[in-house]
Structure 1
């Protein structure tokens, strides 16, 4: 592997790469992998690759979520406008670098986040733990978004919350059933409606306020902390977003041809998150300053009327929850295969995710949102640190392991202590800091401390073990130690 600027590129041994690809092709010919599973358990074949525009249309789906507009208002009330903007800029810069590293590998290898993880130091079973948290995070997002959607439609037709929770969850099953093919069409067709309604709301808010709100960059609501502490508070809440989005970006960028990734990375990797950090979240500040509320399911109705406001909520939530349900079902399908449950395909997990989403809505996941954002950031950043450390240092700088990422269960160890131990060390360290420390700056940075700890431990263990825990065959030619012996 060589490192060149922000690009990470594997140099495959020609004979080894060819034999590995042929071996995988033969295996896939015999597998039960089908297109409707969106290649959750294999490499994406060349005929299934898509343009960067199709990936952008899917990823922009989560940008339109009311969730991010809501947290924009939440950040404003917690930290003030200036601190929020500073934290958004820092988070975007960090996320962009991490996105490019992981998504580049996903494009080249054609693998899901789960398959990349098992290859990068976790093993076939060791990666299941990360899959459960990763997929579970998107289930929680789906539950939070579903509650917002239910609140909105309840303004038109007052029914028990439990009834609307079931309706808004099950409606996504047929939409997500055929995978990315149908999703791309739905998300593309809904863009004009969403843009028109959102512009209407922005203009209405502007007129209602008599111009731009004066505090977009300076407002300090009562109780907001501001300053450095305010920046840390927002960074802490965004740790989960920084931790999970490189994996989400990789799950979709695996459909981008490797030869096209470099020149199209701005479209499929950078632009969606620029729209998130400098579009969706700041809109939450804008609308909160105008309406004195942080709940978009309520204030949009006040700005543009009942029917248009509800329509905006539904178009927005349909777009984002399609992404949430699809990503979580793909992740669970990959994880179940590692545990030997190949019969549990993506469509089975769509049903299971729907049931979990309904349960979370009944338990009021939206009411516990801020705590959820902080803790998931601790785990997700530690996990991301392990994968990035493996790509950049273990396989790149040190070349302890080389060649194509190996994800097949009969080739790799079930549990690789390198990634598993690093993840646990980073997560436990950060969790203890978060729970036990009263200093808001230190506790707020706990997830980022966990990232550094996990990164260092992962590299250290890989170096000490010389990569021997990566493959079942201790004489595998992809290990640097065996190449040196030869």
Structure 2
């Protein structure tokens, strides 16, 4: 952390100039960014999460929860992506504005750890598939899966990630069609696969399904760090197609239906290993290739975001300035070490805790953007720790609700509880700091020095 960060921390709720914002001249072309981001479309995880939800609450409830999820993700990511494209800010730099210096350390730490854990999880799927088909020591397959990812992620989004993901996307789509056809030919059409009876529970089935999908709100942080690479003139397109409802219709909707269908064909319970088994049962060696393609695409995003946030974390916390390539290698080493442990025994709990921090961050970011929209009321003040306190208190409440066992319903509702507390506490902290704005005839709100803040001076 630099002396400037310590001596003059950014007040909560106050937009200020940020040297980390990406200039427009360095932004990615429209389709380049789209192809890089749509790597997220091809994770086997999306097939699994829908089938797991259908096992828990039935297919009709899952479809209802999925539709509500697509709408929510479409709206929220439209707002986040357009703001990121307009400002060029990263998750870390926005967090510094919302939380002061603590945000420049905690936000990239949570983001890097989450991306790394997902990278470990998705890479393990490839290793298990390779061992299942070829045999051998799983530790060697783990190492192979890490080593081949490193050179793929060394280049930036517009240098290489867009190209490899653009090339692999058609193969993934063709592979999904082949899986459906092969499973149907081998097992027959599973009549009634959309009509599975829901299990009873304390909450409505559709709400339970929706809460399951809230567990991956980290996609919204992913969106923010990718959308900052967009050209402002492409923000509307990216907000709808690249990061918006179109993307989630395919990612959650199409993938989810395919996952439910093929697992029902083979009579396999919903799990990621079950999805791997169903794909390999359907296509044999071609299924292994499909898994390799899908997980390679998703892990380009996981490794890219893990390495870029580790780089920021090292700079902010330790004052170590180094190229991202160093942190790509570091991310690979950490991923391999995690793979050698009994990662599944603690991974889900770690992701649940980090998920609380992530949902709180998203809620606060939405409030921050609403308060600092162009031409809207800007807030400023001296309460450096208020925003950070709102984030930490809301997260602590969410984690407490998650880990307690006395009231199961409370644990299930933890994501919604976290969002409500985070948004409310941050809004209240900003309201306490607000000063009377001065409006000009043009409709631009200024602060008490009669100068527009940098965020207000920019337009979408």
Q: TM-score, normalised by structure 2?
A: 0.84
For the pair 1:317 / 2:289, whether they are aligned, the reply is no
For the pair 1:288 / 2:263, whether they are aligned, the reply is yes
For the pair 1:431 / 2:399, whether they are aligned, the reply is yes
CA distance in 1 between partners of 2:424 and 2:117 (Å): 30
Counterpart for residue 460 of structure 1: 428
Counterpart for residue 240 of structure 2: 266
Using the TM superposition, give the Cα deviation of residue 211 of structure 1 relative to its aligned residue in structure 2, in angstroms. 2.6
Using the TM superposition, give the Cα deviation of residue 401 of structure 1 relative to its aligned residue in structure 2, in angstroms. 4.4
Using the TM superposition, give the Cα deviation of residue 62 of structure 1 relative to its aligned residue in structure 2, in angstroms. 1.6
Using the TM superposition, give the Cα deviation of residue 265 of structure 1 relative to its aligned residue in structure 2, in angstroms. 2.4
Counterpart for residue 448 of structure 1: 416
CA deviations 1:157-206 (Å, max 9, x no partner) are 22221111111012111110112121111111112222222211111122
**Mapping for residues 65-104 of structure 1, pairs under 5 Å:** 65-104=43-82
CA distance in 2 between partners of 1:423 and 1:321 (Å): 29
Of residues 384, 387, 390, the one that matches 1:422 is 390
CA deviations 1:30-53 (Å, max 9, x no partner) are xxxxxxxxxxxx222323222332
Counterpart for residue 129 of structure 2: 152
The answer on whether the counterparts of 1:329 and 1:353 sit within 8 Å (CA) in structure 2 is: yes
Q: Could you say what secondary structure the match of 1:392 adopts?
A: helix
Q: Could you say what secondary structure the match of 1:205 adopts?
A: helix
Counterpart for residue 170 of structure 1: 147
**Mapping for residues 205-354 of structure 1, pairs under 5 Å:** 205-211=183-189, 213-216=191-194, 218-220=195-197, 224-225=199-200, 228-242=203-217, 244-270=218-244, 271-293=246-268, 294=270, 295-305=274-284, 307-354=285-332
CA deviations 1:86-112 (Å, max 9, x no partner) are 221222222222111211111011122
Gaps of 5+ in 1: 1-16, 29-41, 403-412, 468-477
CA distance in 2 between partners of 1:463 and 1:201 (Å): 54
CA distance in 1 between partners of 2:26 and 2:347 (Å): 37
CA distance in 2 between partners of 1:438 and 1:77 (Å): 24
For the pair 1:480 / 2:447, whether they are aligned, the reply is yes
The answer on whether the counterparts of 1:238 and 1:377 sit within 8 Å (CA) in structure 2 is: no
For the pair 1:59 / 2:68, whether they are aligned, the reply is no
The answer on whether the counterparts of 2:307 and 2:331 sit within 8 Å (CA) in structure 1 is: yes
Q: Could you say what secondary structure the match of 2:379 adopts?
A: coil
The answer on whether the counterparts of 1:336 and 1:342 sit within 8 Å (CA) in structure 2 is: yes
The answer on whether the counterparts of 2:41 and 2:298 sit within 8 Å (CA) in structure 1 is: yes
The answer on whether the counterparts of 2:91 and 2:107 sit within 8 Å (CA) in structure 1 is: no
1:160–1:323 Cα change, 3 Å: same
Counterpart for residue 37 of structure 1: none
Q: TM-score, normalised by structure 1?
A: 0.80
CA RMSD of aligned residues (A): 2.7
CA distance in 1 between partners of 2:303 and 2:73 (Å): 23
CA distance in 1 between partners of 2:84 and 2:354 (Å): 23
The answer on whether the counterparts of 1:240 and 1:376 sit within 8 Å (CA) in structure 2 is: no
Q: Could you say what secondary structure the match of 2:422 adopts?
A: helix
The answer on whether the counterparts of 2:30 and 2:230 sit within 8 Å (CA) in structure 1 is: yes
The answer on whether the counterparts of 1:107 and 1:258 sit within 8 Å (CA) in structure 2 is: yes
Gaps of 5+ in 2: 1-14, 436-444, 452-460
CA distance in 2 between partners of 1:449 and 1:219 (Å): 30
Counterpart for residue 371 of structure 2: 393
1:226–1:220 Cα change, 3 Å: farther
The answer on whether the counterparts of 2:38 and 2:242 sit within 8 Å (CA) in structure 1 is: no
CA distance in 1 between partners of 2:53 and 2:32 (Å): 31
CA distance in 2 between partners of 1:444 and 1:227 (Å): 9
CA distance in 1 between partners of 2:234 and 2:255 (Å): 28
Q: Could you say what secondary structure the match of 1:111 adopts?
A: coil
1:373–1:386 Cα change, 3 Å: same
Using the TM superposition, give the Cα deviation of residue 334 of structure 1 relative to its aligned residue in structure 2, in angstroms. 2.1
CA distance in 1 between partners of 2:350 and 2:67 (Å): 22
Using the TM superposition, give the Cα deviation of residue 65 of structure 1 relative to its aligned residue in structure 2, in angstroms. 0.8
1:336–1:395 Cα change, 3 Å: farther
For the pair 1:375 / 2:349, whether they are aligned, the reply is no
1:170–1:428 Cα change, 3 Å: same
